[in-house]
Each structure stands twice: as C-alpha cells, then as structure tokens.
Structure 1
C-alpha cells in the first residue's frame, strides 16, 4: 500500500529562504511584502522564514476577508481582542494599542483582497509600534513608502542533464508520496515538460501530480496544453482557492475589468515576449488604456516585465497563468472565438507593417526582427482560422505575408496551406468566391515564381465566363485574375490570347493604386514576340518601369520586359534589363525577383550561342541551387545542369549576382544576322537544312521529328523571313550566313 502523505520539504527554495530570513531580521526593514504570482509559494516560504526568526510572531490569514474593518478585526482576534465592552472598534488604532512597543513580527498572509485598505492604516501602526515588523504576502505591493518588496520566483525549470530541475523534482516528490507506482512509470522527460508548461509554480505542480497519478504523465501534459481542467486537489486541508489552477488565479481577479482580461488573454495567446509597441499594434489600440492595463497586470503579478535594449518595456506571462488563460478559453468558446479573431485582425496589422518595412531598405532589420518573433504565432493563427472555417480571413492573412513566405523560404509551405484551405472549401457548402480567391492567390504566386503553366491552370477557372457568382460578388478579384492570366499567356507565347484578355480587363478598370503598374504591364505585353527594329520603344518601357516607386512592382515589370525581349529574339537588350534588376540595392530583399533575373541572364547567354556555354551553365546551376536552398518553388524542367560538375557552381545569391554582372553585355555582333534572329532555334535549323537542299523527309530524319512538324516549321520560316517559296528561303539563308559577323 503506497504511502499517502504530502512532502513537507521546500524543494529548491534554500536560496530564497535564506534571503527572506536575512530580510526579516534586518532591523532597518519594518514592512516586508513577499510578492509573486498565484500559487508560487509565498505563504509557505514566508511562514517558514518568520517561524525561524527567533522572535515572537503572530500569523494572520486574511484570505477570507474582503474589506478593511474585517481585516483589522481578524488581526485583532489573533492578537487577543480585549474583552471590555467599550473597547476601541477594530481598526489600526485598536491593533496599535494591542501591540504596543514590544518586539513582534506580524505575518499578514494573503493580503491581496484588502491590501489597499490595510495600507491606509498600516503606516500609522508602524509609527506607534516601534518594535513591530510586518511581513505581508500579496500578489501586488501595498504601495507604502517604507515597504520592501521581495519577489518569489517560480521554481527553476532548468536541468543540468544529470539531475532533474527543481520544478520537476517537486513534481516527482508529490507523485511519489501519493502514487508511488505512477512515479515509477512516469517518464522523466514528460515530467520536465509538465514542469515547464506550468513554469515551475508549486501549486500547479501539486495539482499536476494528482493528474499524473490518475491519468498518467502523457495525458496530463495533453490536458494542460489543450486547456482542460486537471483533477482537483484531493487534500482536505488545501484551501478552495488552491484546488484548481483556475481558482488559484481567479481568487484575486474579481475586480479585473473586461479590457484588462482581454489584454491578459492577448498576451497569453503569444509564445514570445511582447513589448508595448507590439501589443498596441497587435491589439489595434493606440494610447494610454492598453499601457495602463499592462501596468495593472504586472502589479497583480499576472505579467512579468523588463526593459528591452530599445528601451521598451517587454512583457512575459508565466506558464501557470497561461494555463489559466487556456482553461478560460477552453470553457468559454464564445470568448475564445472573439479573442482569436481579434488577434487575427491584429496579426494582419502586423503583417502589413512587416510588408511595409520589407519594402524599405532602412526597415529591413526591424522587419526581420518582427518576422523572427511572430512567425510561429502568425502561422498558428492562419491554421486556427482555417480550422474554424474563417477561410476569407485566412486567405487575406496569407496574402498579406507573401513577401514573408519568400523571405523565410516558406512559399511552398504557404502554398500547401492554401491548398488545404481550398480542399476544405471545396468539400463544404461555401460560396464560389472563396475557391476563386484561393485560386487567384496560388495563381499569382505561381506567376511570380515563373511557373506559368501552374498559373494558367489556377487562374483560368477564376476568369471563366461560367464563374458568374464570383464575377458578381467580387469583380475586383476576377479583374486581377484576368490581368494575371493575360500575363501568363504573354509569357507562354500566346500574344493574341493575352491581348484578348486585356481588352476584357483593361488597366483603366483597375484600382487607382494598381493602374500605373497595370498600364505599364499592358504596354509590355503589347510588344508581343516580334523582333524590335529600334531601341526607343523598349528603352522607354524600361525607364518607366525603373521609375515605379514600389520595389516589387518595379522588379516584376522589368523581369517581364526582359523575358519579352528574349522571346523577341533580342537577348542583348534583355540582358541590359536583367542587369538593371540585379543592380538593385539589398538584393536579398527581393530574392525571387533576383533569381528570376539570373535565370533570364542564363537564357540570354544561351541564345547568344555555344561560345557563352560556360556562363549559361554557371548561371543555370546557381539559380537551381538557390531555388533549392531557399525553398523557392522550382520551374518545371529547370533541373541541375550536368555541366556544373566540371565547371563548378556559384552557390550564393550575392556571388551569383556579382558573377552575372561581371560578364560583358552582348551586342548585335554576338547574335549574327538580325534577320535570322527572328527565327527560333528549331526554325533556324530547318531553314539551314532547306538551304542545303534537303527534302522535308530528309530534314525530319536529321532532326528526329515528324515530317508534318517540318512542314509547320517551314511555313513559320517563310512567314517570318517574308519568303514566298523554299527557294527564296535558301537564298536568304545563303546571303545572311555569308555576311561578316
């Protein structure tokens, strides 16, 4: 039969006990307030220190008192109230008269509910009783001038590896003394996790010990993390306020107003330290009220605070108080939903701030700090919104943080989250607009990362004429998708389809903020794939794009222009545009655009001929490695170049950019005949073989393609070279190939 007794040992408190004894015996200290969070062990520690002080002491428990007169009466009863019928009524004067000038220590335990009332008269009592030392325990200070505060911290949850942490040791002792078999079966790592979740608060550990004995360590840990109540304390001598985590914290919170509770729940929802500016940003509130509530929560020992390097107050919440907040939200689903959605809105404000900072060179450091601090909370909030069918809010938050996903190599993960969201939308009775919004977001990301076929597959259903519900309820979304799809058709060599879509979704119908970029993109798409005879048209577009104020818009339009020039068989012009992108300061701020420009450079050198094969191979290998190492979505067919094994790879974005900019730009002389540059590589091969006198069948055998494909290529050659017959093709080829380079 296991022993059924509580462990009386103050585990891990030797240092605090010695400190308190020294303070109690200090003749210069008349009022010592032992403070700290709920359940941290203030009463037990103070009582032990006073009991060993070798001085007369009186202990008074004020936990059940709620007003000043009642508190003074309780103290007077402990001192021995006079029996005279006309004695002084309970109050500071009566207590002072009863104590007199004799040396005494008064332990006023659990003063929380009457601290303000006691403070009003305690100062006078200390003046009239020169031998009196008052030791009070309270979650907040009495706010007297002569008061000395001693903060009792939770038990340490740090372990040196060979021995359990003090918090885990107390948990083990409590389990072992009542449930010996459970202690033997408990996994040490799980006990350490439970101790960490409760932040080493002794009352929480004692309650967890009962749960471990009855449910096991793993289920206890799950209950704490999910916000479910633990089994109440089984000991009859434990006060009701210590029988559960919620009762322990709520005991002194009866006068905490709604805003104070909201701020507490808001901070508890975060897994990181929070400074005042971030609380204001995330809560959407400005001004003094939030700051005042944070100060009140610190005063009530519900939050801890310190001063950060930037001079801001930084706030943290104990695991014990966080467990209380979890239980509160678990039991009140309406409150939980309100807090969560208010927090999601705050995180959207934070996302916009991060996006704004990322777009500014001077703001990048602050943006990265915010990303590193809040990214886990943001991701958790997105998943919460999806789990609770708030798909529109989730899509908007994902969209706001587009640059963050790219910055931290999480674009593929974000796309997977959107795909999960769309699957949930597709399986339920949700408006088509939600599915369209998800498709538009994924399509835009695919377009930005160069996966044009994926973008086409995603965007086409949004633009479809059959999608009447979405067109009616969210015309702006359809307009954006239509213009993006036009760009996809342009990028995939279908200029007529692109122009048709632009006629349906003109730049003039875009929002005022989007119109300048939309009009410029419209002009770029209008170039088509026809070789340009002059430099004026494309250079004017280049200059207009370079003048766009927003960095992402500027680089996106320039890269689109560069790819357009490549398809127009002007790689020398395209290379100039890509170099302009690569010369942008702080290239890591626009990683995806930089990789796109490097890929464009590789294609430009590939079009220039075999003499630039080394440059082509190096840049291709570099972009493949960068996409893989930064978890950027890969373009279909863009695999590692086997030639890199003999040439060597450029494996860093800055190094790759420096290498690309060090290669000389191309000129017309590098490209051969301007007339023949109108032909694709396969068309030029066909034309050269025609000039050699080969038949269609012979050409098909030589190139390993179907004969009808040769016929199609030849028709294109005749159209582009303005030749009415095969003979004219042969004559043009002979003339152009004999020209000096």
Structure 2
C-alpha cells in the first residue's frame, strides 16, 4: 500500500484559541510557550498565527550553533542592518522565535532591549524552559489526554493521534490494532504527540505488542524513514537530549532515579531516599528539571511538593539505563539503600502510637519499589541485606497478603551457602511460625545456637507445643548474664516464670506475671507473651482467666496493626468460650468463624499441632463457620471480642461447667433418682448411650458412684440459685 500523510492538529482547538487570545492582549509583549519535548509547541503556535492580522516574522533558532549570533539572525529576519534589528515602525509585528532552548540564556539578555526599542513588537517563543524575564507570560502545552481507565470506551485524543499516524504510514496496519493496546501505548508515552508518531512508525514495522514491550523495557524504537524531518525528531533520545546538553551529572542521575521508580514523586521521599549530604543540591536540581519541562510539579494535600515524570522523559531514561548497564546498576544500588531507609521508617511508624495510617499510606505508594528492591538484592547475591529488608517489612507482607510468598522465598534460602544467612532465615521463619500458632514448625526451625532471642523463642515454642520438659531444659540457656541489658534480663525472667507456671501457683502469682508481661517495652514481646499466657491458662482449665488475658491483647492501642497477634487473641477468646461450655456457644462460634475468615483474608497460615489445646476453635469444616460466614472484618471482630459476654469465675470453677449439654441432662436426671432405663426413655436415646454419658460425667466430676454425682449436681444447683 502506498503511504500518504495528512498534517493534523488533534484536540488542540481550545489551546490554539487561548494562544490567540493572549497574543491579542496588548499588555502581553513576550509570550513563551513551554512544554515537554515533542508536545507540539511549534505546531500549536503555527496554528495560532495562521491568518493573524499582524505581520508575522518567524525565526527557527534550532540550528543556530553559536548563541552570540542570535542578535544577527533576528536582525536579518526583521530587516535590520548589521547586528541591529530594524525598528518595525507603526506596523504591529509578531516575532515568532521557535526552538529557543539552545540560546535561551542569550535571548534572556537580548529581548528586553529589543522590546524596549520596538513598542509595536510582540515576541512569542517556544522553549522547554522559561526565559526567566519579569515581563514574560508563560503558556504550558500539555500532552494529549489519555484514557481515564480501562472502562473508558471512547478513544482518547492520544490514542486517536496514534491510530491516525499509523494509518498515514500504512493504512492496513490498523486492521489488527485493538483499542486496548492503542490506549496502552498512548498511556506509556503519556500522550506526547512526537512520541506517538515515533511509536506509529514502530508499530508498522514490528507490530503493536513488540512496540509496547520495547517502550517498557527501554529498548530504542526504529527511527522514522523520512529524510525531511530534523535529526532531533528521529528518536526519543535525540528529542530529549537536544534540549539538555548542559544538564549536569547530578541532575541527570536524579532524573534516572525518579524514572527507575514508579512512585518516587514526593519531594520529602526523594530527599529521604537520595539526599544524604546533598539535600540542598537535590532541591536545586529538582527545580531545574521542572523548569526544563523534564518534570511537572504540584502541591499535594499534605503540603508536600510532588513531581510527575512525563512518559516521553521516562522512555528516554529507560533507554539510557538499558544502554548503560553499569549506570543502571549504580542507580539500583543507590535506590536499594534508600528503600532500606524507607522500610525502617515504615517499621518505626507502625510501632509508633498513631503512626499506622501514615505507614500504610507509604506502603501503598511504595509497595512496587519495596518488592523490586528485595528482588534486586536477591539477584545481586546480597542475601543478608535481602533477609534484613524482609524482616523489617514484615507488616507490609502481612498487610499485602504476601506472607506465604515471602515464606517461600525464605525457605528457598535455607540452603544458602552462607550458614549465617540460612540461620537468619530459619529464625525468621520460626518466629512467624510461633506467632501464627504453628508450634511444631517453630520447634523444627528455631535454633538456640548463638542467638539468645532465638533460644527464648525455641523455649516458648516447646512450651506451646506441649513439651514442658524440653522448654525447662532451655532455661539455663536463656538466662542472660549480669552484663546483659535490663530489658534482656527482664524478658528472660518473664519467660522463665511463664514456662514454670503450674497449678501450684496462686491467682496472685498469675496476675503478677500478667502485669510483668504487660509492662514489657517491646510491643511484639508483650503481645506474644500475653497470648502464650492466655493459652497456658486455657490448658490449666481456667477459661475465664484466659479470656481476660486475650482481651488485654485486644485492648492494646491499634490492635489491628499486628494482625497475627490480634488473630491469635481472637482465636484464644473463641477457645475460652468453647471450654466454658454450651451456654457460650454463640460467641464461641462467632469468634471462631471470624478468626477463620480473617486468616483467609490476610493469607495467614492456619495453626498446627493443637491437639493438646482444650477448646480448639472451629476450622474450615465446622458447620458453625460456614453458617456464620465472613461477617466480621478484623476491626469488627476485635470490637466483638471485647464486648462479648464475660465468663463468671464461680460458675467456671465448678466441675459441672465442664459437662456437655447432654452430659448435664443425664447428670440432673441421675440426681432426680432415675435409673438408666428411665433416663433413656426420657431422652429418647439408647440405654448404652446413657451408660457411656454417665461414665464421662463420673470422670469429669471425679465421682466414684451415682450417689456422688447426685450430691455434686445438687450442691451446684444450690450455689447457682
């Protein structure tokens, strides 16, 4: 098919009209039309000047190699002698100085004098940056609009131009071009007309899919076949470089840092990640990049300056990084260090009262870069740094439902050549297993060697897994010496008291231990040990005491900031209600269901090895869970756990409270003097079933005969009354 070209200015009518209005305003003597490279400044001004009543003198300064020749070139076009522009006289004249970037500084010196000498002269310039003159009026040309979102079915102006450009090159090339990929290419190039025209050439040569892949990866696009276009319009790189030949290394690197990140736009974040001792220099370079139309800036709701990188500039930066592997590596290394600093700040915000909202905002913005940095460190073989970053960002992985994937990454590092890295991975995985209730896994993973913290966690894992002798065997290991910090000594002492807690201790001892745990300064230590104390009290058959401890965890400020601890406490509350008996089946079922669905929502691993724990909460197969359904989110579940009915101590201390509903019915009929056959007839069950229930009743009440059962039931009824 033959080629044909139709010059077109798409979706620019309003901007053309605005430029005409500004030129008609006699108060405006100097109008500078700015915008990113390739946005169509020259075409816009040409269209605005078409049919102008004034005399129009156009001068293209793109090819002026020596800035000092600007005066002579302008004078020649205005009809002056030598290097002095002629006085246009009474005739109104518009001097159009196109492509002023290379001579912007020279023009800034010359134009004030020219305007003073020629009162009927109006100057309009096109440049990517302002000239910096007091009387200068600025008009910014924006890229063409792109689609608002996937649901926008009307072709955007940018996509329309791309399709039109493809058709002018090779009409049949658009027959297989889908609207979706057209919009994707337009969005990647941010609606910059010149970039869209270059992409159109690529589409006709290599197809739309490969063109999009090249843009995203930073590979250069094929140059256009035309011999009548300026060299600066041949490629994306030529287009950008033409106007930034004097950009210094710091400004260029700053541009590359911002381009390498999908989210690096906030001034404070730029300074946090990159500044170090160069804070003032970076602020200055950011202003320069904005002035050169390489960045756009605005003020966000929080008062921070924010920056946006146009798609053409990002494509140029990607090409620079693609072509220079060493430079790209240096940019990634610097960013990895900066992201590590940001991760530390996010972790600190999560630990700070009232800091969760700010931390989540940072996480939402920076999540892609956080993941990319971990992957970069792993690919570079910097495993220790990668594991450290994973540990710091634990809350991020949980919040983003990425804990199972992160655990699989760490599991893959267990065979690392460096034993220290493998040990760090084991201890981190063991810590997560312990806090999520997977006690057998924690026992397998944790190692006491060389790490007092891991030794403490292993002792606690043995205690939780129902292996008290092994837990007590580690007590000598976890006791710190006198030189240890007070926090370490107190933490070890509290853990030892928890492991040694048994029936010989009084309620005062248990309350004192609870208060000591609650006074621990570290939030994670505090919540973990309180939850372990609650489970210990459940095993001791005192659900009312356990419930109060679990509720203390839920009363912690911002309990949802640690979903693992909150879910463990909710699970403990559910088991306490189950252990308390059928009278509390509603809160037991409701909290069990909530715990089940919240674990699914947060992708938290399910507890394992809980056969020794009384009052086990419901699982996926429990009909109560499926009946209640996913009705409680984490915050609502916490609120319900704190307001559900209390468990009275007196009733719970009675052995009768341990009986099931059917066992209690059998026991009460025994107390009334009924025989097994009479009870079977009354309840509509087999006589052997009555015998089995009665055996369970006698075991739970520690009664050697039916008479003793009757006495215990009668006494319990009198106390309750």
Same fold (TM over 0.5): yes
Map of 1:112 onto structure 2:
101
Match of 2:592 among 610, 620, 624: 620
Structure 1: distance between partners of 2:321 and 2:188: 17
Distance 2:310 2:267 in 1: 17
Displacement after TM superposition at 1:549 (Å): 3.2
Unaligned runs of 5+ in 2: 611-617, 660-690, 693-698, 717-721
Aligned equivalent of 1:498: 471
- Name the residue aligned to 2:685: none
Alpha-carbon displacement from aligned partner over 1:493-530 (angstroms, at most 9, x marks no partner)? 112222333433444599859626632552344325x3
Contact 1:357 1:364 in 2 (8 A): yes
With over 3 angstroms needed to count, the CA separation of the structure-2 counterparts of 1:103 and 1:613, relative to structure 1, is closer
Q: Is the 8 A contact 1:409 1:632 kept in 2?
A: no
In the alignment, is the contact (CA less than 8 A) between 2:542 and 2:652 conserved in 1? no
Cα distance, 1:666 vs. partner? 4.0
Describe how 1:126-165 pairs up with structure 2 within 5 A: 126-158=115-147, 161-165=152-156
| Matched-pair contact (CA < 8 Å) for 2:87–2:117 | no
Residue in 2 that maps onto 1:304: 296
Please name the residue that 2:576 is paired with: 604
Query: Is 2:536 the partner of 1:531?
Result: no
Q: Could you tell me how far apart the structure 2 residues matched to 1:217 and 1:425 are?
A: 43
> Structure 2 matches for 1:183-194, cutoff 5 A?
183-194=174-185
Structure 1 residues 500 and 602: CA distance shift in structure 2, 3 A: same
2:566 aligned with 1:594, yes or no? yes
Alpha-carbon contact 2:264-2:270 (below 8 Å) kept:
no
In structure 2, relative to structure 1, the CA distance for the partners of 1:285 and 1:732 (3 Å cut) is farther
Deviations 1:361-420 (A, max 9, x none): 3222222222222223322332333344333332222211112233x251xx23313423
What pairs with 1:392-541 in structure 2 (closer than 5 Å)? 392-406=384-398, 408-410=399-401, 413-420=402-409, 422-423=411-412, 426=415, 430-459=417-446, 462-463=447-448, 475=450, 478-508=451-481, 512=485, 515=488, 518-528=491-501, 530-541=502-513
Aligned with residue 545 of structure 2, among 573, 580, 599: 573
**Aligned partners of 1:334 and 1:514: how far apart in 2?**
46
TM-score normalized by the length of structure 2: 0.85
Tell me, in whole angstroms, the C-alpha distance in 2 between the residues paired with 1:509 and 1:381. 41
Q: Is contact 1:101–1:132 with CA below 8 Å preserved after alignment?
A: no
Alignment of 1:45-194 (within 5 A): 45-65=44-64, 67-80=66-79, 82=81, 87=82, 90=83, 94-95=84-85, 97=86, 99=88, 102-158=91-147, 161-194=152-185
Task: Tell me the equivalent position of 2:673.
Answer: none
Indicate conservation of the 8 Å contact 1:101/1:128, yes or no.
no
Contact 2:494/2:516, CA 8 A, preserved across alignment: no
Q: CA offset at residue 273 of structure 1?
A: 6.6
Shift of 1:162: 4.8
Separation (CA, whole Å) in 1 of partners of 2:308 and 2:481: 50
Instruction: Give the number of equivalent residue pairs.
Output: 666
Separation in 1 of the partners of 2:432 and 2:173? Answer: 53
Decide whether the 8 Å contact of 2:60 with 2:97 is kept in 1: yes
Most deviating of 118-127 and 73-82: 73-82
Whether contact under 8 Å (1:71, 1:114) holds in the other structure is yes
Name the structure 1 match of 2:327.
335
Which of 194, 218, 224 is the aligned partner of 1:233? 224
Aligned residue for 1:302, secondary structure, equals coil
CA contact (8 A) 2:237 2:316 kept: yes
Change (3 A) 1:665 1:19: same
Distance 1:648 1:148, change over 3 A: closer
Secondary structure of 2:456's match?
helix
Report the CA distance shift for 1:489/1:148 in structure 2 as closer, same or farther (over 3 A). Answer: same
* 1:274 partner SS: coil
CA deviations over 1:538-567 (Å, ceiling 9, x no partner): 212211222233433322221122122223
Q: 2:521 aligns with which of 549, 560, 567?
A: 549
Unmatched 5+ residue regions in structure 1?
Answer: 464-470, 678-701, 704-716, 718-728
Match of 1:2 in 2: 2
- Give the conservation status (yes or no) of the 8 Å contact 1:507–1:518: no
| 1:250-399 aligned within 5 A | 250-272=241-263, 274-285=265-276, 287-399=279-391
Question: How has the CA–CA distance of structure 1 residues 433 and 646 changed in structure 2, closer, same or farther, with 3 Å as cutoff?
Answer: closer
Alignment of 1:32-47 (within 5 A): 32-47=31-46
Residue number in structure 2 paired with 1:639: 619
Q: 1:517 to 1:18 in 2, by over 3 A?
A: farther
